[in-house]
Amino acid sequence: MPDPKGAALAEETAWAKINLTLQITGRRADGYHELMSLVVFADLGDTLQFSESDALGLTIDGPFAAGLSSERDNLVLKAVEAFSALTATPLTPAIRLTKNLPVAAGIGGGSADAAAVLRGLCTLQGLSPGEGALQDLALGLGADVPVCLASRPAIMSGIGERLQPLAGFPAGALVLINPGLPLSTAAVFKARAAAFSKAETAPPPADFDGLLDWLRARPNDLEQAACSLVPAVRDVLAFLAATAGCRLARMSGSGATCFALYRSLAEAEKAAAQLQAAHERWWVRAAALRTAA
């Protein structure tokens, strides 16, 4: 168990990951789907604190702590063990995870937490594994972990291993809504009936209006399937689209979290307040887009 008396020596934020697009471009022989996704990060997330301890341990608190276990199969602990093996350095930090984001919600979840662990351990131990080795380790933990490791706008392709960082990404804001209903990623992929999308990785324009036009031509290929399984997703999208200042409403990842894009944080905060007042049981947050790591 973590030492409650140990002072935190490092802290990381696991930023919420948003798939502005998610196109399924094929399926490999091993069963993994290939994709093309424009991924950005919102200025909110889980927090992880690292302290010295004689034994590796994890405590979890926060509004969504009940959805996680601190057992050895937690991705946070797996990340520590994998990093220890990579660096040949036995590490036993006490980690406190404050779970502010909904679990299994299509916005990073365990992948963002695992990536934050890798960043925190590099800081805590003064270790800098080679970038290629660290990326390979991240991919071994999960397809979304490499993009979460950088936590900056990027086009992600393949199964998550190919990243094209985007410089000069336009500023903006968004509202995130999760209706609190379970939605299995495997079930969403199984329910998807459409043909594969054409693979293309041309970067978006660096201006906000140009970005919107680019996004409209590249949908989330899982959205229709998710709506068929959980109709509330369609309702969330309709409510978001009806807010003042909304430029685009879409589902993130395999759901059930949805987002709307706004030009300013003030517009997003006003929309979020109105939506939360009308739907008290939903998780609703406004945030700026993080345009750099």
Residues labelled as active-site residues: 17, 144
Q: Which two tokens stand for residue 261?
A: 């894009």
Q: Which of 66, 64, 23, 71 is nearest to 44 (CA)?
A: 64
Distances (CA, A) of 131 to 122, 134, 150: 12, 5, 11
Residue 67, amino acid: G
Q: What is the Cα–Cα distance from 279 to 102, expressed in whole angstroms?
A: 16
Residues 6+ apart with CB under 8 A from 157: 25, 34, 35, 36, 37, 164, 199, 201
Q: Which residues pair with 260 in a beta bridge?
A: 175, 249
- Cβ(88)–Cβ(115) below 8 Å: no
- Cβ(17)–Cβ(108) below 8 Å: yes
- With H, G, I as helix, E, B as strand and everything else as coil, classify residue 232: helix
Q: Which two tokens stand for residue 231?
A: 């109709």
Look-up: residue for tokens 């979304």? 144
Residues 6+ apart with CB under 8 A from 273: none
Q: Which residues pair with 8 in a beta bridge?
A: 51
Look-up: residue for tokens 């404050």? 98
